[in-house]
Structures are given as structure tokens and as C-alpha cells.
Amino acid sequence: MALQPSLQNALVIAGKYDAPHTLEIFLDYVCPFSAKISLAIDSVLRPLFAPGGKYDGKVKLIFRNQVQPWHGSSTFVHEAGIAVARIAPEDFWKFSLALFKRQGEYFDIPTSTLTPVQIRENLAKLVAETIGADKAAQFGDLLSLKSTPNGGVAVTDDLKYTIKYSRQNGIHVSPTVLWDGLIANEISSSWGEKEWTDFLEKKVTV
């Protein structure tokens, strides 16, 4: 498991960073199946890996940003997630859940007539609604274009890291799940408590 320091505090969304087992889930904010599995993450997995949970100290859960370029807004929504990870790591999952619930606003047709600036402005409003207006101002600063014509924004390097990580590991679609570094093809976005409980009982060995 690898995770660069600037993202460690946010993208480990459940469990302790030094837990021996690692569950990585590659998610796209504008993927309906990612939104579906996010509900299981929140209601099933996070409680199991939290302090006092059955697998406390045994498993950590990492959110992996999976940009899918066939959706034009995917880059912008993942910029937003990474920006929140930078300014308010403790609120990253809260914001991510809110974005999954509102993902329809960022689908292809609703965003087809919007400029990148307008999409980022809408995301800043969601940040204000979700984690506070004070954070929205910092968020806006991180997503302001740099002075060079093709320099991106302040989180572009972190975005590049997440994309390179996916590419080198052959991750093509979301959600894709890795258990201890290997793709677990049997996992489905439709899994509920029983399927996840059965999987973890078989896989956790510590």
C-alpha cells in the first residue's frame, strides 16, 4: 500500500494507517455504481474498522480517486475531493458522501453547457453547504488557475498522483477493489452487510 503524505490524513477513511490489512476502493464521483458502494462503505465497513469495531486495528480502508475521462466533469469533481482532503481532511468522507448524493448534477448532460469555472463554483457551493463557508474560500483558492497558461491548479500534482497510481496498477473502471494489493473481482457494488461480513471473515488473518 502506498499513499503520498499530502493525502494520508484524508484518504484513509476508516481504520488505522498502520493496520496490517488494506482495502483499497477506486471510486469515481460521477459513477452510479461508486455511489452505490459508498453507502456500504459508510454503513458497513467504516463501523467495522472504527475504534471498537470488529476489525479495529486490523484493516484500513483507502479511498482511491478514479478519474474516468469519458465523463467530462470527472476531473473537476476529483479536483474538488482532493482540495477538501487538503483543507479539511477530517471532513473528506463527509464531503465525498454529499458529492455522491448530488452526483447527478455533475453528469454529462447537466454539465455540458457549463464552463470549468462554473463547475468549480458549483462545487464550492457544495463545500460551503457541507463543511462550512470558511472552508469554501480556501477551497476556491486551491482551484484557482495558476498564472501560467497550462499550469493547472494547486491540487493538480495530487490529481496526477492518483491517476498515475491507477494507471500503473491497471485500474480501468470504478468501483474496483483491492485487498492487500490484489484486485478482488468478486466484490460487487451491490454487496450489503452479509456479503462484506463473509468476505472479511475469510480474508482477515490477524
The one-character DSSP state at 127 is H
Handedness of CA 7, 51, 88, 73 (dihedral sign): positive
pLDDT at 1: 60
pLDDT > 90? residue 154 = yes
The residue assigned the cell 491540487 is: 155
Cα–Cα distance measured from residue 125 to residue 136, given in angstroms and rounded to the nearest whole number: 7
Distance CA 25, CA 64 (A): 6
> 155-196 pLDDT, tens per residue?
999 999 999 999 999 999 999 999 999 999 999 999 999 999
* Beta partners for residue 178, in sequence order: 24, 183
Q: Quote the CA–CA distance of 140 and 145 in Å, as a whole number.
A: 10
Walk across the sheet containing 21-27 and list its strands. 12-14, 59-65, 21-27, 176-179, 182-183
Nine cell digits for residue 175: 468501483
Mean pLDDT of 50-61: 97
DSSP state of 93: H
Q: What is the mean pLDDT of residues 103-132?
A: 97
CA 165, 181, 66, 7 dihedral sign is: negative
Q: Which tens digit of pLDDT belongs to each residue from 6-51?
A: 777 779 999 999 999 999 999 999 999 999 999 999 999 999 999 9
Distance CA 194, CA 42 (A): 15
Domains of the chain listed by start with CATH number? 3-201 (3.40.30.10)
What's the pLDDT band for 2 if we cut at 50, 70, 90?
Answer: confident
* C-alpha–C-alpha distance, residues 154 and 79, integer Å: 9
φ and ψ at residue 10, rounded to 5 degrees: -105, -45
With 80 as the cut, is the pLDDT of residue 126 above it? yes
Query: Tell me: the pLDDT tens digits for 163-172?
Result: 999 999 999 9
Mean pLDDT, the chain, integer:
95
